[in-house]
Amino acid sequence: MTEKFQAIRGMPDILPVDVPFWHEFETYWRRLTSSYGYEEIRLPILEATALFKRSIGEVTDIVEKEMFSFESRDGESLSLRPEGTAGCVRAALEHHLLHHQVQRLWYQGPMFRYERPQKGRYRQFHQVGIEAFGLEGPDIEVEHILMMVRLWKWLGVESAISLQVNSLGSFESRKIYREKLVDYLSQYYHELDADSRRRLQTNPLRILDSKNPALANIIAGAPKCQDYLDAASKLHFETFLQYLSQAGVHYKINSNLVRGLDYYNRTVYEWVTDKLGAQGTVCAGGRYDSLVEQLGGSQIKAVGFALGIERALLLQRALDHCKTVERDVYLIHLGEGSEKKALLFAEQLRNDWPELRLIVHCGGGSFKAQFKRADQSGAKIAFILGETELATETVSIKWLRETEQEQVSISKNEVNQFLTKYLREGKQ
Ligand code: ATP
Ligand code: MG
């Protein structure tokens, strides 16, 4: 028996019925980023494992247990990228993009994490992300949040998503806070779960992020990061919040929001929804002022965010706000030699109307069968080239979605006029 292959666990195919939603998202994303002056950078999927260890941090979930790492043929340890920031900083440094200049960059593409697959959580998933270099903020943080507000509105999900913010302070203030937190949590050592006990030494802030309900009370009583902020970070955070309010953006301060990656300082935030269960974080970001230096560059401040496209589209679907996939014309034809004539007519239309979404019926069949296909295709109108039309150089036009519109016949010369009106106004 021949072996049947299946996709690798957690690495789903994206099927043709879903791809149009991805296209729409990607097209809007390009428009959005360009309207804010961001430029795309395209980054490789593989990087040296050491890059992620150094940037994300050795004792983070991602590096400890979520990376797809392997040895290349020449013995170097490589990893499929689990996120985009590390590679983006690496590339920006390698190509001297950060020298005395501000950079507003964006990227998109697949990311890989060895997690337990479930709805909204995959081993290959896709992100779009933004990184801005050379800006101290907090105006730039606010710019990023305003971009996302626009995106949520466009997706139609703004009522189901909310913004949570926090400040981690400077690395120095975080050190002081960390000690206080370890002192506090150590009192409850015997009540902590195994994960949290381990983290107490390695990454105690992450305990605040624990989803274990048994720890909820302990976490609620823990010292708050904001109470230990240094003066400059405090001002940064307050100004950030003020700008958000002035821009009409609602937010909630969440003292337990620490993010899983080591490189963050000061501002951190997440866009969350309660519509996707445990996969409720759709977009997350923050400031990472020392990463560039850590990776061998000079002291260049940076801030960015990443959005999971699968989760954004799942949320849109959960709210039933999917824009329907549309096609304009399905070209139906019947009669002697109609196949060739239809193909040539369609080519001419495509020459004249590059934006027209046109399907030519292929494979023959009765009018009835062809109309059925036309219906399924999502096209708004059918152009019909039957025997009469072919003999009289006319085209019949039938509206497939608006039943009150009568079928009409126009001469081929009038098709351009018809399409001008249709494409400009969406109607006859
Ligand atoms: P979570 O807490 O859900 O694991 P995260 O904090 O690990 O998320 P980030 O590293 O901040 O996620 O990545 C940014 C965004 O990428 C997330 O908000 C989410 O939308 C998306 N994302 C992260 N991991 C996955 C995954 N395994 N599958 C699908 N989307 C993901
Ligand atoms: Mg995660």
Residue nearest to atom 21 of ligand 1 (CA): 308
Ligand nearest to the Cα of 85, by number: 1
Cis peptide before 82 (omega within 30 of 0): no
Question: Which atom of ligand 1 is least distant from the CA of 280?
Answer: 3
Question: Which atom of ligand 1 is least distant from the CA of 311?
Answer: 20
Radius of gyration of the chain (CA): 27
Cis peptide before 138 (omega within 30 of 0): yes
pLDDT tens track for 153-194: 999 999 999 999 999 999 889 889 999 999 999 999 999 888
Ligand nearest to the Cα of 311, by number: 1
Residue ranges and CATH numbers for the domains of the chain are 19-169+229-318 (3.30.930.10), 329-420 (3.40.50.800)
Instruction: Measure the CA angle with vertex 147, ends 320 and 43; round to 5°.
Output: 95
Q: How far is the CA of 248 from the centre of ligand 2 (A)?
A: 30
Report how far residue 236's alpha carbon sits from residue 252's, in angstroms, rounded to the nearest whole number.
17
pLDDT one digit per residue (tens) for the chain, 428 residues: 788 999 999 999 999 989 989 999 999 999 999 999 999 999 999 999 999 999 988 878 888 889 999 999 999 999 999 999 999 999 999 999 998 889 999 999 999 999 999 999 999 999 999 999 999 989 999 999 999 999 999 999 999 999 999 999 998 898 899 999 999 999 999 998 888 888 888 888 889 888 888 888 999 999 998 899 999 999 999 999 999 999 999 999 998 898 766 778 999 999 999 999 989 999 999 999 999 999 999 999 999 999 999 999 999 999 876 666 678 999 999 988 889 999 999 999 999 998 899 999 998 899 999 999 999 888 999 999 999 999 999 999 999 988 777 889 999 999 999 999 888 776 44
Ligand 1 shell residues, CB under 6 Å = 83, 113, 115, 120-122, 125, 127, 260, 279, 281-284, 306, 308, 310-311
Of 382, 388, 390, residue with least CA distance to 337: 390
> Cα separations (Å) of 321 from 156, 197, 246, 325?
6, 43, 29, 12
- Whole-prediction pTM: 0.85
pLDDT tens track for 197-237: 888 888 888 898 888 888 889 999 999 988 999 999 999 99
Report how far residue 152's alpha carbon sits from residue 148's, in angstroms, rounded to the nearest whole number.
6
The identity of residue 347, as a single letter, is E
The identity of residue 31, as a single letter, is R
- Phi-psi label, residue 127: left if phi above 0, alpha if psi -120 to 50, beta otherwise: beta
β-pairing, 252-253 vs 281-287, is unpaired
The identity of residue 361, as a single letter, is H
Strands (E), 134-263: 162-167, 252-253
CA dihedral 409, 413, 415, 421 (to 10 degrees): -110
Report how far residue 87's alpha carbon sits from residue 231's, in angstroms, rounded to the nearest whole number.
32
Q: What percentage of the chain's residues is helix, strand, coil (to nearest 5)?
A: 45, 20, 35
Model pLDDT, residue 201? 84
Question: Which atom of ligand 1 is least distant from the CA of 127?
Answer: 16
Model pLDDT, residue 325? 60
- Tokens 């991602």 identify what position? 62
